[in-house]
A and B are shown apart, each in its own frame.
Chain A
Amino acid sequence: MPFIPHTEADIQSMLAKVGVSCVEDLFDEIPGALRCGGLDKVADGLSEMEINRLMLERAEQDGRFVNFIGAGAYEHHIPAAVWELTTRGEFYSAYTPYQAEASQGTLQLIYEFQTMITGLTGLDVANASLYDGASGLAEAVLMAVRAHKKRRRILMPTTVHPVYRQVVESVVTHQDIAIEEIGFDQGAGVIDMEALERLDPSGAAALVIPQPNFFGGLEDVDGLTDWAHANGMLVIALVNPTSLALLKPPGKWGEKGADIAVGEGQPLGAPLSSGGPYFGFMCCKQKLLRQMPGRIVGRTVDMDGRPGFTLTLQAREQHIRRSKATSNICTNQGLLVTAATIYMALLGPQGLAEVARRSHANTRELVSQLSAIKGVEQVFDAPYFHEAVLRLDSLAVDVLRALEAQGIIGGLGLKRYYPELGDTILVCATETRTGEDIARYAKEMERIISKRRLDPPCAQKVVDL
């Protein structure tokens, strides 16, 4: 019996102690009419050897590709020690630190995480993490509306990740919060300041500022922050944690700094893994602390005066406050925060800055080589961090498919998110891409694009992606 330790003798003596003749008797409070039969559609169990073979075969079947997509999830080198330590049973199989004395490892680690992530963002306090960047942004929007009290409209640039905008919509739609979109400058690929100036700012509770934005471009964070503050809004910074080793932290944006910073924590030690598990981080100014959702760890002392750590400010949370809680969130993404904390400790300030600089330099090299190809051009002219948008003179979906056949995931086609941009792709080259990877991509792109120009497929199937 997999994972069940009982011997036949155990079972008999336990049944006797309970006073029933068989295990089935223990379910006698369930009305008979509700009982189900066998689970016919569930297959027989597999031994560990059998499931090993099955999973290894499947993993092999999917193959390996050289990846040039970023778009919210980034392939970074993860030091071997990160997941060796994270999957130690003491971290892996513990739960939320309800019994602080028996959870000092997890609690101290979260305190260290809170310190590290506030160092990155330049804000005062952090929580112990949220589910992911997108749901974190939704929580930030709710938090800003709670904090502002009077206003229920949020200004949301379309340079924010399109799926993040959808998530915000799904989450806040039930609470009478209006999301107003702000377009982008077609030349620069950053928030259109003129469009912003034309808005009626009086009813807005907060402005979301992505840095870098979805296109990889760098926004005028100082100007935007000051504009929002001058108009009585809070500023929600949506940031990439790796970029913060290089870029001005939200706490220093403009005169007063952003009020809340959120983002996707995945670049800090979480593998791509088809989309999860990742984690969202959230920091804010001290004065907004009590509106922040999620777990928070504080340092205190024990009965003997020794320093120790515990969950604190729990009166904001659902298990205490129930219907009046700041959120329904019940956990953090503990294991991912463990990985991120170890990742940041192993890289240190120099290492993280190096990752940021090399990702930036590699993407510049990629953009330079690709846009030198006839039929490929860079779309926006704002400075960028480690992603950029390229326009192709062929159907992007076909080009990407042809690249895939060569083992290259060449980028994300943007037509489904931004039809107005036409056949464009969003590309990224982190520090994990070598000069050879980039050169091979450029070579294949050149070959595919020129072949399509000279010899277009006669029965080209038009599929919009």
Chain B
Amino acid sequence: MLIFERSQPGRHNGAQFQPGDGDVSDIPAVLLREGSLGLPEVSEMQAVRHYTQLSQKNFSIDTHFYPLGSCTMKYNPRACNTLAMLPAFLGRHPLAPASTGQAFLSCMYELQEILKEITGMHTVSLAPLAGAQGEFAGIAMIRAYHQAQGDDQRTEILVPDAAHGTNPATAVMCGYSVKEIPTDAEGDVDVEALRQAVGPQTAGLMLTNPSTLGVFERQMQEIATVLHQAGGLLYYDGANLNAILGKVKPGDMGFDVIHMNLHKTFSTPHGGGGPGAGPVGVSERLAPFIPVPMVTEHYGEYRLLSEVDLPGTIGHLSANMGNVGVLLRAYVYARMLGREGMHRVADFATLNANYLMVRLREESFELAYPTRRATHEFIVTLKKLKDETGITAMDVAKRLLDKGYHAPTTYFPLLVPECLLIEPTETESKEELDGFVTAMKEIYDEAYSDADMIKGAPYSTPVRRLDEVKAARELDLVWQAPDD
């Protein structure tokens, strides 16, 4: 039932407003609204009950194991939420003077410093609101750098074929054309193909390492050399930073510019699709182009740097200084982990992934890259299962929901057929992983004994498989009142 279907004309929520005269006679009538706002009229309790019940129709980290590959669905500590929502932090206006937010800005500055240390980059800006906006900032900086060198021949961004879709989409938004670089049979970038692809037209290469295939790019140094010798810059997509926290720094791998996804590595909430936070880090030669505002400290006083301080900046990406509430949560998380905790993130994310990978292989699941170590995630390919039983990765995903597990990422990366990209994260216990293996094994057996049953899954969720074709063909995006 929709909230609109609970609405009764004239019902309102008296506690939430104080009637007053609210005279608007000074506004010309021609500028005023006529007709209804279309909002529901419900009591406070009706609204609370409705949205509580809606929440109960979700799988979430707090309720289910959620091994969604490349999304790092680890536990979001409650302390991070509580402390980021202290009234003094929530109440401060973004344009209030820096003098009224020194303590808050000190948290932001310290977060920048922590991110610099773990990534090995020269300068960090917290401004980008999400990973994709961080990518935009990064590629815009690459463009600004080449332009500042007087080099306007570089029109192309290279991306491996395994890359996230945001990589090529970002390159195009920044005015570049995109060339894909193939991956070899063991999941590494095909360096020979890269060598052939680079040239005076190469602006940069966007690389995720560990890659979206769940393996560490072993020829990293060679890739950096090839690219830099061609005059291109190296962009690090930080989607998988969780796997290498405290093990390798992107700066040491030769990256010139990076973005991080704090909602992954720093455990800020995914919130049903956001907000994220996508800080960017750069090497010294790209520092002049960093997006504003960023936080600076001078003799113990904190303030935001603007385009006046950084005339080379690629500019503002949003109205304010970033997703502050997310940044505060990340700061609290980073301080709670501390130095040792950071190393442990990578240790246990990797241990869990390798354990789960070995256990699934034992249960007859085929690995996409069987000769490789898992990083924080790995890929199972169900091509054989599909050939033998007709059961697809999508079917397995849906059946997992019945078993009480959120599905792994399906059909990404695109180059592995019938794939499940599985990322358990470091916060899951061995029992939880074992339970998942049991569920997967049951589904595997069901595929051979009762494939039709799996094709009908899920059975236990609030709805069963949805008609997506109908959704796209007979668009129903906005509720219409029946009497309209």
Q: Are A5 and B427 in contact (CB under 8 A)?
A: yes
Taken residue by residue from 256 to 291, chain A's Cβ proximity to chain B (1 for < 8 Å, 0 otherwise) reads as 000000001000000111111111000000000100
For B344, give its contact among A1, A28, A116 (CB under 8 Å).
A1
A355→B16 CA distance, assembly (Å) = 10
Known: A46-B335, A105-B56, A170-B316. A349 touches B41 (CB 8 A): yes
Known: A4-B348, A221-B31, A404-B100. A174 touches B220 (CB 8 A): no
Q: Are B31 and A218 in contact (CB under 8 A)?
A: yes
Q: Are B62 and A89 in contact (CB under 8 A)?
A: yes
B71 close to chain A: CB less than 8 A = yes
Q: Are B61 and A89 in contact (CB under 8 A)?
A: yes
A348→B316 CA distance, assembly (Å) = 35
A111→B348 CA distance, assembly (Å) = 38
Q: Are A312 and B273 in contact (CB under 8 A)?
A: no
For A318, give its contact among B169, B248, B474 (CB under 8 Å).
B169
A179 close to chain B: CB less than 8 A = no
Taken residue by residue from 248 to 279, chain B's Cβ proximity to chain A (1 for < 8 Å, 0 otherwise) reads as 11001100000000000001011111111000
Name the distance in Å between B357's Cβ and chain A's nearest Cβ: 8
A5→B65 CA distance, assembly (Å) = 14
Q: Are B42 and A348 in contact (CB under 8 A)?
A: yes
Taken residue by residue from 274 to 292, chain B's Cβ proximity to chain A (1 for < 8 Å, 0 otherwise) reads as 1110000000000000010
Q: Which residues on the A side are within 8 Å of B92 (C-beta)?
A: 62, 272-274
- Kindly report which residue of chain A lies nearest to residue B79, judged by CB atoms: A48
For B273, give its contact among A102, A125, A247, A331 (CB under 8 Å).
A331
B175 close to chain A: CB less than 8 A = yes
For A245, give its contact among B37, B83, B143, B314 (CB under 8 Å).
B37
Q: Are B51 and A85 in contact (CB under 8 A)?
A: yes
Name the distance in Å between A24's Cβ and chain B's nearest Cβ: 8
Q: Are A51 and B332 in contact (CB under 8 A)?
A: yes
Q: Are B51 and A95 in contact (CB under 8 A)?
A: no
A166 close to chain B: CB less than 8 A = yes
Q: Which residues on the B side are within 8 Å of A278 (C-beta)?
A: 319-320
Known: A2-B336, A28-B373, A125-B477. A361 touches B39 (CB 8 A): no
B389 close to chain A: CB less than 8 A = no
Q: Which residues on the A side are within 8 Å of B444 (C-beta)?
A: none
A10→B86 CA distance, assembly (Å) = 37
- Kindly report which residue of chain B lies nearest to residue A101, judged by CB atoms: B461
5 A–B contact pairs at CB < 8 A?
A124-B478, A276-B324, A324-B172, A353-B37, A412-B95
Most buried by B among A27, A55, A332: A55
Q: Are A91 and B117 in contact (CB under 8 A)?
A: no
Q: Are B51 and A296 in contact (CB under 8 A)?
A: no
B479 close to chain A: CB less than 8 A = yes
Q: Are A334 and B318 in contact (CB under 8 A)?
A: no
Which of the 9-residue segments A181-189, A195-203, A297-305 touches chain B? A297-305
A58→B337 CA distance, assembly (Å) = 19
What is the number of residues of chain A that contact chain B, defined by CB distance less than 8 Å?
198
Closest 6 CB pairs of A and B: A119-B38, A45-B338, A275-B320, A89-B62, A357-B22, A335-B271
- B residues 49-83 in Cβ contact with A at 8 Å: 50-52, 54-64, 66, 68, 71, 73-77, 79, 81, 83
B120 close to chain A: CB less than 8 A = yes
B225 close to chain A: CB less than 8 A = no
Q: Are B93 and A1 in contact (CB under 8 A)?
A: no
A131→B326 CA distance, assembly (Å) = 13
Q: Are B133 and A135 in contact (CB under 8 A)?
A: yes
- Kindly report which residue of chain B lies nearest to residue A27, judged by CB atoms: B247
Q: Which residues on the A side are within 8 Å of B60 (C-beta)?
A: 89-94
B317 close to chain A: CB less than 8 A = yes
For A45, give its contact among B55, B291, B337 (CB under 8 Å).
B337
Which of the 9-residue segments A13-21, A147-155, A437-445, A446-454 touches chain B? A13-21
A462 close to chain B: CB less than 8 A = no
Q: Are A297 and B477 in contact (CB under 8 A)?
A: yes
Q: Are B476 and A298 in contact (CB under 8 A)?
A: yes
B102 close to chain A: CB less than 8 A = yes
Q: Are A409 and B96 in contact (CB under 8 A)?
A: yes
Taken residue by residue from 462 to 478, chain B's Cβ proximity to chain A (1 for < 8 Å, 0 otherwise) reads as 11111110111011111
A289→B477 CA distance, assembly (Å) = 11
A436 close to chain B: CB less than 8 A = no
Name the distance in Å between A410's Cβ and chain B's nearest Cβ: 10
Q: Which residues on the A side are within 8 Å of B131 (C-beta)?
A: 330
Taken residue by residue from 48 to 71, chain A's Cβ proximity to chain B (1 for < 8 Å, 0 otherwise) reads as 100110111111111111010101
For A323, give its contact among B172, B216, B271 (CB under 8 Å).
B172
For B47, give its contact among A2, A60, A252, A346 (CB under 8 Å).
A346
A402 close to chain B: CB less than 8 A = no
Q: Which residues on the B side are within 8 Å of A118 (C-beta)?
A: 38, 478
A406 close to chain B: CB less than 8 A = no
Name the distance in Å between B51's Cβ and chain A's nearest Cβ: 5
Q: Are B274 and A333 in contact (CB under 8 A)?
A: yes
Known: A3-B75, A51-B335, A319-B165. A328 touches B479 (CB 8 A): no
Q: Which residues on the A side are within 8 Å of B409 (C-beta)?
A: 98
Q: Are A336 and B351 in contact (CB under 8 A)?
A: no
Name the distance in Å between B264's Cβ and chain A's nearest Cβ: 10
A387 close to chain B: CB less than 8 A = no
Q: Contacts A27-B247, A41-B116, A58-B104 known; list 19 others, CB within 8 Å.
A: A23-B347, A28-B373, A36-B247, A42-B114, A45-B335, A59-B103, A100-B466, A103-B59, A133-B319, A247-B31, A271-B90, A272-B91, A274-B104, A277-B325, A319-B165, A330-B164, A346-B16, A349-B36, A361-B21
- B residues 11-26 in Cβ contact with A at 8 Å: 11-13, 15-24, 26
Q: Are B275 and A336 in contact (CB under 8 A)?
A: yes
Q: Are A34 and B317 in contact (CB under 8 A)?
A: no
Name the distance in Å between A20's Cβ and chain B's nearest Cβ: 8
Q: Which residues on the B side are within 8 Å of A304 (C-beta)?
A: 464
Q: Are A101 and B465 in contact (CB under 8 A)?
A: yes
Q: Which residues on the B side are within 8 Å of A91 (C-beta)?
A: 55, 58, 60, 271-272
B195 close to chain A: CB less than 8 A = no
- B residues 381-413 in Cβ contact with A at 8 Å: 397-398, 401, 406-407, 409-410, 412
- Kindly report which residue of chain B lies nearest to residue A249, judged by CB atoms: B33
Q: Are B57 and A108 in contact (CB under 8 A)?
A: yes
Name the distance in Å between B72's Cβ and chain A's nearest Cβ: 10
Q: Are A328 and B170 in contact (CB under 8 A)?
A: yes
B321 close to chain A: CB less than 8 A = yes
Q: Are A19 and B358 in contact (CB under 8 A)?
A: yes
A276→B71 CA distance, assembly (Å) = 22
Q: Are A301 and B20 in contact (CB under 8 A)?
A: no
A298→B472 CA distance, assembly (Å) = 8
- B residues 213-268 in Cβ contact with A at 8 Å: 215-216, 218, 220-221, 244, 246-249, 252-253, 267
Name the distance in Å between B463's Cβ and chain A's nearest Cβ: 4
Q: Are A39 and B54 in contact (CB under 8 A)?
A: no
Q: Which residues on the A side are within 8 Å of B118 (C-beta)?
A: 39, 42
For B68, give its contact among A98, A295, A318, A383 (CB under 8 Å).
A98
- Kindly report which residue of chain B lies nearest to residue A103, judged by CB atoms: B58
Known: A60-B88, A249-B33, A331-B276. A95 touches B320 (CB 8 A): no
B178 close to chain A: CB less than 8 A = yes
Name the distance in Å between B284's Cβ and chain A's nearest Cβ: 17
A225→B227 CA distance, assembly (Å) = 50
Q: Are A171 and B317 in contact (CB under 8 A)?
A: yes
Q: Which residues on the A side are within 8 Å of B41 (C-beta)?
A: 348-350
Q: Are A58 and B106 in contact (CB under 8 A)?
A: yes
A19→B374 CA distance, assembly (Å) = 13
Taken residue by residue from 348 to 366, chain B's Cβ proximity to chain A (1 for < 8 Å, 0 otherwise) reads as 1011101100110000000
